[in-house]
Structure 1
Amino acid sequence: MKNLWTLLSVVIIIFLIIGLWFINGLNYVVKLDEAVRSSWAQVENQLQRRNDLIPNLVNTVKGYAVHEKDLFTKITELRSQWGKASTEKEKIATANEMSGIISRLLVVSENYPDLKANQNFINLQAQLEGTENRIAVERMRYNRMVESFNSYKRTVFGGLFCSIRGLNAPHEYFSASKDAKNVPVVSF
């Protein structure tokens, strides 16, 4: 009888350990998914900050660079596209395009000495540069979270837990656009 109780205790302990491991695995995949979502929210937060700063920067530069209408039109279009984008993929593509256009805008500003001396422009430029740095940091953090989730999903038990939780699709990395390698060209 004592052996039966010992065997039964061992079996119950084994089932408890397996059950706790299983529950922990299911919870871990949710935590990873939420970490990715949280990181993406921070990227969007910084992109929105940039989006809010751009009209001020554009209006300041417009006063000096009246003939750069195409650049300003493109910036306005991209701001609108980013606001309308509904998926992470669309927002990533629009944000990458916006980074390129902002680089062009800052190059344009180099051709206007009075503008470069304007305190409003200097402040806006510093805020925009700081925002671009924040975006880069948040993109890096987001990509780390995506890497953690996607790596875990590809493990034997991680794939099982993701499948059970319905988190089958891998998250997309935030990568630079192909145009980011090109130096912005501004001609007059």
Structure 2
Amino acid sequence: MGIFGWSILGVVVLALVALIAMYNRLVRLRALVKEGFSGITVQLRRRADLIPNLVETVQGYATHEREVFEQVTQARAATVNPGGVAATAQADAQMTGLLGRLFAVAEAYPELKANTNFLQLQDQLASIEGELQSSRRYYNATVRDLNSSVQSFPAVLVARPLGFAEEPFYQDDDPAIQSAPKVAFPRPAA
């Protein structure tokens, strides 16, 4: 084999190594996207697990607000098992809005706002909302990285034939719901 043969073999080996590296990078990015979405669903489940206690505590004081309690309970079920990214974002947005309504009901009851159990649940919810926001940002960052790689040259030449596609960002249609509900009740004087 002459120098020309070795050169061609070298180019083929380099191309194969580059293809393997591209494939492995795309696999890693896809795994990070799945991990990011899983983080969102974990936080949504934590929030959903907190909601029955929150509803029960508020319901003990505001028994005539039955419609809000029923809506929160129904939305909780949708949040736990929503499906894909878009359905999860929609269920999340609906639950966030309903939690805002639940806290608006609680605002009308000063003795509820002073209840230790309610205050603990409120603190837990605020913590979960912060972690949920972080999970959404992480997911969207991993989606951005995957989508950039799938669309970039030379990966664009091999990504789609190898089964890699762009993933949707986590977003909802209502910009007013894209932040955590305001949960700010004044602490009782010690």
TM-score (norm 2): 0.87
- The structure that is helix-richer by fraction is 1
Structure 2 equivalent of residue 69 of structure 1? 66
Aligned with residue 149 of structure 1, among 121, 127, 146:
146
The correspondence of residues 15-30 of structure 1 with structure 2, limited to 5 A, is: 15-30=12-27
Q: CA–CA distance in 1 between the matches of 2:102 and 2:83? A: 26
For 1:14 and 1:81, locate their aligned partners in 2 and report how far apart those are by CA, in whole Å: 54
Aligned length: 179
Aligned to 1:60: 57
Q: Distance in 1 between matches of 2:164 and 2:42?
A: 24
Deviations 1:31-64 (A, max 9, x none): 1111100000000000000000000111001001
CA distance in 2 between counterparts of 1:166 and 1:118 reads 54
Which residue is 2:167 aligned to?
Answer: 171
RCO comparison, higher one (Cα < 8 Å, 6+): 1
Q: Does the CA-based 8 Å contact 2:149-2:156 persist in structure 1?
A: yes
Percentage identity across aligned positions?
31
Is the CA contact 1:97–1:177 (under 8 Å) kept in the aligned structure 2? no
Q: CA deviation at 1:158?
A: 2.5
Distance in 2, Cα, partners of 1:161 & 1:79:
41
Unaligned runs of 5+ in 1: none
1:134 to 131, 135, 154: 131
* CA deviation string 1:73-102 (max 9, x = no partner): 111111112234222221111011111111
Q: Does 1:50 align with 2:15?
A: no
Moved more, 81-90 or 44-53: 81-90
**Alignment TM-score, normalising by the size of structure 1:** 0.88
Secondary structure of the residue aligned to 1:164 is: coil
Deviation, 1:160, is 2.5
Structure 1: which 4+ aligned runs deviate by more than 6 Å? none
Q: Partner amino acid for 1:123?
A: Q
Q: Say if 1:151 and 1:56 are closer, same or farther in 2 by CA, change over 3 A.
A: same
What letter is aligned with 2:176?
Answer: A
1:103-123, Cα deviation, whole Å (9 max, x unpaired): 222222222111111110000
Structure 2: which 5+ runs fail to align?
A: 182-190
Alpha-carbon shift at residue 145 of structure 1 (Å): 0.7
Letter in 2 for 1:107: A
Contact 1:29 1:161 in 2 (8 A): no
Q: CA RMSD in A?
A: 1.9
